[in-house]
Amino acid sequence: METTEDKYANIDLNKIYEYKDLPDKISERCDYCGSVKFKSSVSGGEFLRECTNCGLKKNI
């Protein structure tokens, strides 16, 4: 079984994560690079948050 630390250690930047499956390790910071700058979009009723530094994406 995968532990919480394993989830954050094996982040794939080409994948879109669900926030409920991978919540922010530090609130309002990117789990991969620690940046606080995101661009957001809404499509089909889903709110997508993307880090402008590394490109990590999450459906919020």
15-57 confidence digits (pLDDT tens): 999 999 999 999 999 999 999 999 999 988 999 999 999 999 9
Residue 40 pLDDT = 96
- 46 forms bridges with which residues in the sheet? 43
Residue 33 pLDDT = 94
Instruction: Examine the pLDDT at 3 and tell me if it is beyond 80.
Output: no
Interatomic CA distance for residues 31 and 41, integer angstroms: 19
Residue 38 pLDDT = 97
Alpha-carbon Rg of the chain, whole angstroms? 11
Q: pTM of the predicted model, to two decimals?
A: 0.84
Please indicate whether residue 57 or residue 10 has the higher confidence score (pLDDT): 57
Interatomic CA distance for residues 47 and 58, integer angstroms: 8
